[in-house]
Amino acid sequence: MKRRVGITGVGMITAVGSDQNSFWQGILSGKSGVDYLSLFDTTDLEVKIGAEVKNFDPGMFLERKEIRKTDRFVHFAVAGAKTALEDSGFEINQSNAHNIGVIIGSGIGGIKTFEDQARILVEKGPKRISPFFIPMIIPDMSSGYVSIATGAKGPNHTAVSACASAAHAISHSLKLIQDGDVDLMITGGAEAAMTKIAYAGFSSAGALSNKNEAPQQASRPFDLNRDGFVMGEGSGILILEELEHARQRGAQIYAELVSCGETGDAYHMTAPDPEGQGAAMAMQKVIANAGIAPAQISYINAHGTSTPPNDRIETLAIKQVFGDRAYQIPISSTKSMTGHLLGAAAGVEAIITALTLKEGIIPPTINYETPDPDCDLDYVPGKARRVGTPLEYAISNSFGFGGHNISILFKRYDENN
C-alpha cells in the first residue's frame, strides 16, 4: 500500500495576494491582479500589461547579501517556502533534516539576470560579468536555495517542463513520500519572467493578449473573445507530508494529494495536440491511478490559459474523459485572475484546488462573458459558487510547451478516514 499524503502548509506570492487570507478572498471575489507593468519601460512593446507582484520585499525573507546574489524567481521561491513552512507548524532541525526534501519547478529561471548581464557584456565587456551569473540563472537554484534557507537535506532537484513545471515538481514529491523515501516535501513552483526580452519573445510568437486598454479584462479563459494569455509572476509552494506523520503532530490538513497522471503529446513545440489526446490521457491516468471512477470528480481547476487553441482543446479533452457528465462538472480557470505564472502556475493552482475542497467554495472564471460554441462547459462564470454537498475529488490540469501534460488529483480530507 502506498502511503497517504496530506497538504499541511501553503505559501503563495501572487499579484492577487501574498498571504493566505487576502489571496483566497481575492480569488473568491474575482479580483484581477492584472495591471500596467512597472518593472520595465514598455514604450516600444506591443503588450504593456501583466500580473506583476507589487510591493514585494525580499528583505522579509532573505539577508541583503543573499538578495544581491540571487534572482527574483529565487526570492519568490524562498518567500513561498518559508511562508508554507510557517503555515504547516513544522520545524526543520538536525534530527529530521535528511527526511525532508525540496523540489520546486521553474520554467525559465533567472531570465532577468540573463538580460541584465547580457547588456553588461555588450556595453562593458566580459570582465564586468557577475561571478554569480551562472548560479543566478539556472532554474534548479529555486530548489537549491530553498534547501539552504530552510535546512532541508533530503532529495533536492527541480522540474523544468515549461508551464507544467510546478505540477511535475509536485508529482515527483508525492511519489517520494508515497514510496517511503521521505516524510515531508517542500514543493511547487516559482517564476519571475516578466522581463522585456520575455515579453518580446512571447509577443512575437503571438501568445500574449494585447488588450492593453482594459488590463483587468484581458485574461478571459474560454471566452469567445480571448486573444492570448496574460503573464504573471510569483510562487506557489506546498508542504506535502505523510498523512500519519502529520496526524501524529496534530497538523492542519488542507486536503489529500492522491495521484498524478503524466503524458506527452509528441506533436509540436508550442501547439497542443489538436485532438486533445495527451490531455485526455493525463486525466484518465490520474483517475485510474487513484482507483476511482470519473463520476467521482467534483471539480476541475483548468489549465485555461486564455489562448484560443488551448482552451478549446482542453474543453475537448474533458469531454473525451467524462462524456455527457462533462457538462455537470464545475470548471474554473483562476488564471483569469492571477495571470499565467508559467512554471509556477501549477503551484498556485494546487493551493487553490486544495482550498476549494477544504472550504467547499468553487472559485470563478472571471471575464467569461461571450460564450464560445467550442467551449460550452460550466466554467463558473463571474462569481464563486458554494456547493450544497461536499466536494470529494478535484483535478488540476497543467500543460506545457513541448507537449507536457499532467493532471493532479486531490481529495477532500476526512479526519475520520
Query: Do the Cβ atoms of 191 and 398 come closer than 8 Å?
Result: no
Distance CA 127, CA 124 (A): 8
Same domain for 293 and 173: no
**pLDDT the model gives residue 295:** 97
Query: What CATH number is attached to the domain comprising 62?
Result: 3.40.47.10
Same domain for 127 and 174: yes
Query: Tell me, what DSSP letter sits at residue 232?
Result: B
Task: List, by residue number, the catalytic residues.
Answer: 163, 303, 340
Per-10-residue mean pLDDT, the chain, length 417: 95 98 98 97 97 97 96 98 98 97 98 97 98 97 98 98 98 98 98 97 96 98 98 98 97 98 94 94 98 98 97 98 98 98 98 98 98 97 94 97 97 94
* Cβ neighbours for 267, distance < 8 A, ≥ 6 positions apart: 273, 274, 278, 403
Distance CA 264, CA 134 (A): 30
Residue 167 to residues 33, 289, 311, Cα–Cα distance (Å): 22, 16, 18
Chain position carrying cell 478516514: 417
Query: Do the Cβ atoms of 263 and 286 come closer than 8 Å?
Result: no
**pLDDT the model gives residue 258:** 98
**pLDDT the model gives residue 388:** 84
Residue 254, domain member (yes or no): no
Q: Which residue, 132, 138, 106, is CA-closest to 117?
A: 132
Same domain for 146 and 290: no
Same domain for 153 and 122: yes
Residue 207, domain member (yes or no): yes
User: Residue 65 belongs to what domain range?
Assistant: 5-248
Residue 253, domain member (yes or no): no
Average model confidence (pLDDT) for the chain?
97
Distance CA 161, CA 295 (A): 30
Q: How many folded domains does the chain comprise? A: 2
Neighbour-count burial of 415, counting CB atoms closer than 10 A to its CB (0-12 exposed, 13-18 middle, 19+ buried): exposed
**pLDDT the model gives residue 270:** 87
Point out the domain boundary residue: 221, 248, 275.
248
Residue 376 to residues 214, 218, 330, Cα–Cα distance (Å): 25, 20, 12
**pLDDT the model gives residue 1:** 78
Point out the domain boundary residue: 248, 273, 297.
248
Same domain for 243 and 269: no
Same domain for 242 and 281: no
